[in-house]
Amino acid sequence: MGNSNANENNKDSGKSGKPTVEGEGSYSGTRDYDKATGDFIAKNKDKIPGLAKDAEDALEGPEGAELREAEDKGKSKARH
């Protein structure tokens, strides 16, 4: 016996044609993130290698320890 409620929540709302499930893993959040990421890449395609080098230099420079600490803090709150 399957959970029919779970399947019902994934169906289109009917009015907008968009799925109604929102929350963890929200469709609109993913869509917005994907669009913003694509827009950033399109606008900065030529600058990305330089930005990566700047990030590498920052990690190897005086602020590196602080950046790694912030990264560790962010990773500790991540849900896997």
Residue keyed to tokens 């827009």: 39
pTM of the model: 0.54
The pLDDT profile of the chain, 80 residues, written as one tens digit per residue, is 444 444 444 444 555 666 666 767 788 888 999 999 999 999 999 999 999 999 999 999 999 999 999 999 999 987 66
Nearest to 20 by CA among 10, 31, 32, 5: 10
67 contact partners, CB below 8 Å, separation of at least 6:
58, 59
Q: Residue 6: what pLDDT?
A: 47
Q: What angle do CA 34, 39, 13 make, to 5 degrees?
A: 40
Q: Residue 8: what pLDDT?
A: 46
